[in-house]
Amino acid sequence: MTTKHRVLVVEDDVALRTGVAAALRAESLDVEPVGSLGAAGDALAGSTYDCVVFDRMLPDGDAIHFVHERRRSGWAVPVLFLTALDGVADRVSGFEHGGDDYLVKPFDTGELAARVQILCHRAAGGRPSVLRHDDLELDCARREVRRAGVLLTLSGREFAVLEYLATRTGQAVSRTDLIEHCWDAESDPMSNVADVVIKRLRRKLGQPQLIHTVHGVGYRLS
């Protein structure tokens, strides 16, 4: 099992937002749709994403300025702009302000999904194939985990959860975030499935403990 790519869609037109979200979910992407830059800021503060799709002209501003400010602070999540602005200068401006791709309305949802998949894979490709933390080693290509050189036997779900934590070493990851990335879309974010898997992982990883509880939030690999 691998973690699902997570996409934030920022579009104020309800019908278009719903259609885009449906098209991306049909490609096995985990999608969170919101309707404003304010809501996008809240979503980005609380979760991590592999790609963000922005309508440019939103009720609370032009998304290129929103993206540009975050790029200046080191934010590197791939961005695709959707817009009715189809001039060359508009497209160039989108790229200059931190966009990675640009799709003019009206567009084919199949093409959008393909472009988003490419951006998600590009983001994943920036990660090393082997993740290391202390004496823990995850070989993401071979789906193997070793602790102090000893090969461990993990289930697909356990590997997905550990991989997700390892790509965010030192960061607090919420239970909801784990469930949204490592389970299917029908999983109940209020259930204790994440806690059960974390308990099994701690037992298999042994001592000293690597996965720590962040009270009121979730877990951290540190």
The model's pLDDT over 167-215, given as tens digits with 9 standing for 90+, comes to 887 778 888 888 877 775 555 555 688 899 999 999 999 999 999 998 8
Are the C-beta atoms of residues 34 and 10 closer than 8 Å to each other?
Answer: yes
- pTM for the full predicted model: 0.58
d(CA 73, CA 160): 29
Model confidence pLDDT, tens digit, residues 118-137: 888 776 655 556 788 889 98
In Å, what is the CA distance from 34 to each residue of 37, 52, 152, 199? 8, 11, 40, 33
Which pair of structure tokens corresponds to residue 40? Answer: 């996008």
Residues of the chain with CATH 3.40.50.2300: 6-125
- CATH architecture of the domain 6-125 equals 3-Layer(aba) Sandwich (3.40)
CATH number of 130-221: 1.10.10.10
Instruction: Report how far residue 64's alpha carbon sits from residue 61's, in angstroms, rounded to the nearest whole number.
Output: 9
CA distance 219 to 175: 7
Mean pLDDT of 142-148: 85
Judge contact between 76 and 124, C-beta under 8 A.
Answer: no
The listed range with the strongest mean pLDDT (34-38, 76-80, 126-130) is: 34-38
Q: Where in the chain is the domain with CATH 1.10.10.10?
A: 130-221
Task: Give pLDDT, residue 1.
Answer: 45
